[in-house]
Chain A
Amino acid sequence: LEILSFSHPEPSLYTVKAVLILDNDGDRLYAKYYDDTYPTVKEQKAFEKNIFNKTHRTDSEIALLEGLTVVYKSNIDLFFYVIGSSHENELMLMAVLNCLFDSLSQMLRKNVERRALLENMEGLFLAVDEIVDGGVILESDPQQVVHRVALRGDDVPLTEQTVTQVLQSAKEQIKWSLLR
């Protein structure tokens, strides 16, 4: 049993076992596993399901599941998880979680919710890539991460989604002008 019988692990930079973002239903929006703890997609999804079931009702920030330390945070309809070994310094994992959340919060202009995230998936991919590399914490300062991701604020690429959004708001305006 891992929980209380930790001998000292080999000193190493490899800190993070996985970074996950799940939605309201516990479905995967983003998942990056950095070692072979869960080698197959099937095992990963089972783990994600277990994690979600154990955490989505409580807002308690940290848990021990399947012998791993899980730190987490939820916002509106998103659940952020950072997972490490049960020997790991919990505050290091928290530093990663906070950095991820704060970086996204800046990039999404405080609008950390599912829809905004899905419209900026490339931003998310790049941000995680700047925070953790192969399990090593690469950067923990959200300012640096946002700077390096360098999504140019003004010409955020207009995806198909934003086009429909524009149409939607145009429709809305016409509706209001007719009603007036």
Chain B
Amino acid sequence: MIKKFDKKDEESGSGSNPFQHLEKSAVLQEARIFNETPINPRRCLHILTKIIYLLNQGEHFGTTEATEAFFAMTRLFQSNDQTLRRMCYLTIKEMANISEDVIIVTSSLTKDMTGKEDVYRGPAIRALCRITDTTMLQAIERYMKQAIVDKVPSVSSSALVSSLHMVKMSYDVVKRWVNEAQEAASSDNIMVQYHALGLLYHLRKNDRLAVTKMLNKFTKSGLKSPFAYCMLIRIASKLLDETEGGHDSPLFDFIESCLRNKNEMVVYEAASAIVHMPNCTARELAPAVSVLQLFCSSPKAALRYAAVRTLNKVAMKHPSAVTACNLDLENLITDSNRSIATLAITTLLKTGSESSVDRLMKQISSFVSEISDEFKVVVVQAISALCQKYPRKHSVMMNFLSNMLRDDGGFEYKRAIVDCIISIIEENPESKETGLAHLCEFIEDCEHTVLATKILHLLGKEGPRTPQPSKYIRFIFNRVVLESEAVRAAAVSALAKFGAQNDDLLPSVLVLMQRCMMDSDDEVRDRATFYMNVLQQKQKALNAAYIFNGLSVSIPGLEKSLHQYTLEPSEKPFDMKTVPLATTPITEQKTEIAPVATSKLPEKLAPSRQDIYQEQLASIPEFQGLGPLFKSSEPVQLTEAETEYVVRCVKHTFARHMVFQFDCTNTLNDQLLQKVIVQMEPSEAYEVIHYIPAASLPYSQPGSCYTLVRLPDDDPTAVSCTFSCTMKYLVRDCDPNTGEPDDDGYDDEYVLEDLEVTVADHIQKVLKPNFGAAWEEVGDEFEKEETFALASVRTLDEAVGNIISFLGMQPCERSDKVPENKNSHVLFLAGVFRGGHDVLVRARLALADGVTMQVTVRSSEETVVDVILASVG
């Protein structure tokens, strides 16, 4: 077979590669003829070609051999052979980084760039700039300026593009060429125009006013180059975005007018820019959508691809705007380019009706194995969105997803599928068992640790509460036997949950735990030992606290507190209540795939917003001794938009105090404010004990001042209070241009809006993954119950939303989602009250005329129960 092939090669000569068996050393040896006189251009050219070919193949050249060859090559400048000279330029560029002393060719290149041969000038400039550094740049500055405005387009383009490359290295020098670039921008040549615009923008992009002027000029005068138009559209849409310019701005009009350009490249760029603008209305989108619709039937695959990809993007936010294109999209689902077909189908899945789902899914499964992982993820995302839209279709989807899970694919793809299945399980209780079964099958042969541990965690959470928990045990224990340490540890934690929930499984779980205690990994052994001991106690409260619901403290906070504890030796045991709570529930709800995937976000524990506040407040001496920061509220605006001063407040709650942080911005450029405080007058027995001023507030530089307030000790039920707030400060008028303030100042004040402190400021959200267990753990010692009528509320959804935001507690067991067409609902809320007392709320809601609500509150502290009920009433 091979022989036959060779023979054929010999006959036809095809298939042979003159460069195939090139030896670097042999080529470098040959390069010696560069030194022969007279120069043989043909042979020298061939050797240079070989050298560049080797470099291009990724062959490594040592510094010495490269330098030697480079110096030999410089002699070839004596020849006047055009092609040879051009190959010399290329060699210089290719070797610029590997050979030493490349600058010796500077004068030869300078000569060529200013010489009479136009064919040499452009490439000589590009080669010269490649080897030039900042100091040498000054020496050729004059030539560069001349070249930029040269009438030969290739010279001008080369100079402009080379200047752009050098901006990074020598911004200050290149900036001096802005007038020449400006002149080049009015060139008749389309490429020169494009390159000049690119360089000008690059030099001016940090000066918004200059960019605006430039845009005005070019959008009015019009351009010839489609490339330049595309660039201009990008600049305009960036500026629109930054200035939050409305869609009545001339910039928007310009972009829209480009939809009527005669070049498709420009039309597409404009359509894409409009589609990607935030807050576009369906009406503003319509013209962009209709050009994209036309492109869908283009004979050019690239244009169809671009169009359908952009329409897919529109369909995420505005499915109705794309419905008009459904017919065109239908024609694309059998496109021979599978990327186009996939995008068309996933777009249709977003815009089409429920009845078309089955047909589209069938079509897509016929070629899903042929498309790249990137597009498979797009398919999964479309399915995920679909499940939320048409919950009744979940069995079709689940089936499809489980088939995809069995196919080959990379991590991102598998993760998208797993996330999608998990979100279906959480949305549709009836699909739970099928979903768990698919996931169990998947982890039997799963190479991705992250996914395996995620699924094990889910099995631990959901499995024990299914009708037949025992069937999951085998899958979980298999992991303990077969997998890596991280997976084994996750499996042990999952097993413990089965033991804690199901009494009849407990003996077998204990036996399995016993085996895990002999594991070779210490994390696995530690977990097994811990769970073993907890489980053997057979106490519901212990199970709830240590197996089901885990830690709810902030991990960085815990680290810091423990470190502090080790620094100050003490007889007292470490108290968990001194550790700040975690502000964002770590586990639940993360599984929902946002339509625009954010999978690149690192899943590391970054310090939360509250950890950052904790750090900032701890650095202020007056706030020492307040204890750990318990809760920080979202910022509350205390001024209207666009007033002289902008003030917002963040309320920080501590065990017995509150700190009000006022973030103030001075928007007057002729004033400098000093000694800024916000004076607060409480309506209740709250006592202001300290003001910490912001020393100075120059124009547009935000600063913070603080007010420290003591909470009423004698009346723990006084959780709400209204403060009237006034900002007081010393004004020094100043020169708007220089910011130089007058010597004298005067006192002034500014009235802010009232600030409310409510019950929610005293409660931190805590997620209890297993609410039932937590409910039992707290017990009914201080349980109280009351019934309320919410007359003004019309729907259960509304009632649920109101209660959550009023109490500021964490909804558990996804009870914040009210199933459709139900007349009653139970909402579970969990939190920790200031001072570290767990508090749980169960609210039964019934919809009749308005909503009737029966609230049951449990806590480890009686006053907390009273506070909650008092504030609800």
On whether the two chains bind one another, the answer is yes
Residue B660 lies at the interface, judged by CB distance under 8 Å to chain A: no
Residues of chain B lying within 8 A (CB to CB) of residue A134: 161, 165
The smallest beta-carbon distance between B802 and chain A, in angstroms, is 33
Docked complex Cα distance between A165 and B16 (Å): 12
Within 8 Å of chain B (Cβ to Cβ): is A122? Answer: yes
The CA of A171 and the CA of B202, in the complex, are separated in Å by 61
**Would you call A8 and B305 a contact (CB within 8 A)?**
no
Give the number of A-B contacts (CB < 8 Å).
205
A interface, size bucket: 35 or more
Give B14's nearest chain A residue, CB to CB. Answer: A115
- Find out whether the CB atom of A61 lies under 8 angstroms from the CB atom of B302: yes
A91 touches B597 (CB 8 A): no
Q: CB of B45 within 8 A of chain A? A: yes
Once bound together, how far apart are the Cα atoms of A148 and B339, in whole Å? 37
A115 to B19, CA, bound (A): 11
* Pairwise interchain contact A8-B234, C-beta atoms closer than 8 A: yes
In A24-53, the 8 Å CB interface with B consists of: 28, 30-32, 41, 44-45
Which parts of A139-168 form the interface with B (CB within 8 Å)? 139-140, 144, 148-152, 157-161, 165, 168
Q: A31 contacts B56, CB within 8 Å?
A: yes
1/0 per residue, CB under 8 A from A, across B297-312: the answer is 0001111011001001
A136 lies within 8 A of B14 (CB): no
User: Which bracket fits the contact residues of B?
Assistant: 35 or more
> Which chain B residues border A160 with CB–CB below 8 Å?
18, 46
Q: Is A119 positioned at the interface, with any CB of B under 8 Å from its CB?
A: yes
Residues of chain B within 8 A (CB-CB) of A31 are: 56, 58
Q: B75-91 CB contact bits vs A (8 Å, 1 = yes)? A: 00000001100110010
Whether the Cβ atoms of B13 and A165 lie closer than 8 Å is yes
Q: How far is the CB of B735 from chain A (nearest CB, A)?
A: 35
Query: How many Å lie between the Cα of A93 and that of B265 in the bound state?
Result: 10
A-side contacts of B338, CB under 8 Å? 58, 60
Within 8 A of A (CB), among B365-390: 372, 374-375, 377-378, 381
Closest A residue by C-beta to B118 = A148
Q: Which residues of B contact A6 (CB under 8 A)?
A: 276, 313
Contact at A91–B87, with CB atoms within 8 Å?
A: no
Task: Choose from A41, A90, A137 the contact partner of B302 (Cβ within 8 Å).
Answer: A90
Q: Does the CB pair B374–A125 fall under 8 Å?
A: no
Please list 27 pairs of residues, one from A and one from B, whose beta carbons are closer than 8 Å in the complex, sorted by A's number: A2-B374, A4-B316, A4-B596, A7-B276, A11-B238, A13-B161, A13-B231, A28-B56, A32-B56, A54-B372, A63-B337, A64-B374, A89-B306, A94-B302, A113-B14, A114-B17, A125-B90, A133-B162, A133-B165, A134-B165, A136-B161, A136-B195, A138-B161, A148-B119, A148-B154, A150-B82, A157-B45
Kindly list the 8 A-B residue pairs having the minimum CB-CB distance in the complex, ordered from nearest.
A41-B58, A60-B337, A13-B198, A11-B234, A61-B301, A91-B265, A1-B597, A90-B306
- A-to-B contact residues, CB < 8 Å: 1-13, 28, 30-32, 41, 44-45, 54, 58-67, 71, 77, 89-95, 113-115, 118-119, 121-122, 125-126, 129-130, 133-134, 136-140, 144, 148-152, 157-161, 165, 168
Q: Which residues in B have some Cβ–Cβ distance to A below 8 Å?
A: 13-19, 41-42, 45-46, 48-49, 52-53, 56-58, 82-83, 86-87, 90, 93, 119, 122-123, 126, 154, 157-158, 161-162, 164-165, 191, 194-195, 198-199, 201-202, 205, 227, 230-231, 234-235, 237-238, 241, 264-265, 268-269, 272-273, 276, 300-303, 305-306, 309, 312-313, 316, 336-340, 372, 374-375, 377-378, 381, 412, 596-600
Extra contacts, 8 of them, besides A7-B276, A133-B165 (Cβ < 8 A), are A60-B337, A67-B374, A90-B302, A122-B49, A122-B87, A125-B87, A138-B191, A158-B42
